[in-house]
Amino acid sequence: MLQNKMRPRLFFALALAGAALSAPAASQTMKSGDVAVLASYYEIRGSDCLALRAPRVSITQAPRLGKASIMQTRGQSGSSGRCAYKAVAVSQVVYQADRPGDDSLAWEVKYQDKTLGTRRYSATVGVTPGP
């Protein structure tokens, strides 16, 4: 029933390599200087496919070896379900790799739908020396 009310999606994608699906708290490997979109969030009210404002995302644990930021953009909902390919406002967690090593960060997502509430996520990024 919750899925029918709201269809939030969590997508992980490498900014430079196109979209690739992964799971929360994923581990990625990238080179110094690379930029990656670690997660994208949007909200759709399932009863009428109304695209809501992008969920509020905030960094709760900053990375040590790189930079993390939150970007707001426009995108499309996923390709399945009744609300497929709907234009939506999107919040993205973006990571820029600066120095080699293992880095980690965490963030929280506040949804408008009170049943979803606030969710917490984290990621580990392995950074190798760049070219």
Instruction: Give me the pLDDT at residue 33, please.
Output: 93
Instruction: Give me the pLDDT at residue 32, please.
Output: 93
**Pairwise pLDDT comparison (95 vs 10), residue with the higher score:** 95
Q: Is 2.60.40 the CATH classification of the domain at 2-128? A: yes
**Mean pLDDT for all residues in the chain:** 82
Instruction: Give me the pLDDT at residue 47, please.
Output: 84
Sequence letter at residue 126: G
**pLDDT beyond 80 at 91:** yes
Chain mean position to CA 30:
17
Residue with token string 């930079």: 67
Tens-place pLDDT, residues 29-88: 899 999 999 999 999 988 899 999 999 999 999 999 999 999 999 999 989 889 999 999
Instruction: Give me the pLDDT at residue 43, please.
Output: 94
- Map out the domains of the chain as residue ranges: 2-128
Secondary structure (DSSP) of 40-59: EEE-EETTTTEEPPPPEEEE
